[in-house]
Amino acid sequence: MSRKILYNAVAVALGVAVGVALSIKPWQAYHDQRIKADDAISRAAEMQRRQSELAREKALLDTPLGKEKQAREKGFVRPGETPVDKP
């Protein structure tokens, strides 16, 4: 009877070892895919943030005040104004 228990224990241990050995590669693939997915999610979030930032900038530049600001940054002055050099 003890021999039967020993054989059963060896069979169970062997089954567990084979199961673990066969599951290593799928877990590595899962880990690699998870890293890629997390990277894609963070890049998408960054792109979305940048897109909303650009939309705000465009909305500002589409206003008369934004157009004037942009023109003054390029050195344009209104007729009759004298440019002041900044130190």
The 10s digit of each residue's pLDDT in 3-34 is: 889 889 999 999 999 988 888 999 999 999 99
For residues 67 and 61, the answer to whether their CB atoms sit within 8 Å is yes
Taking 90 as the threshold, does the pLDDT of residue 52 lie above it?
yes
For residues 77 and 83, the answer to whether their CB atoms sit within 8 Å is yes
pLDDT of residue 41: 97
pLDDT of residue 84: 73
In the structure encoding, which two tokens stand for residue 81, read together?
């104004």
Q: What is the mean pLDDT of the chain?
A: 89
- Give CA separation, 38 vs 31, 45, 51, 85, in Å: 11, 11, 20, 49
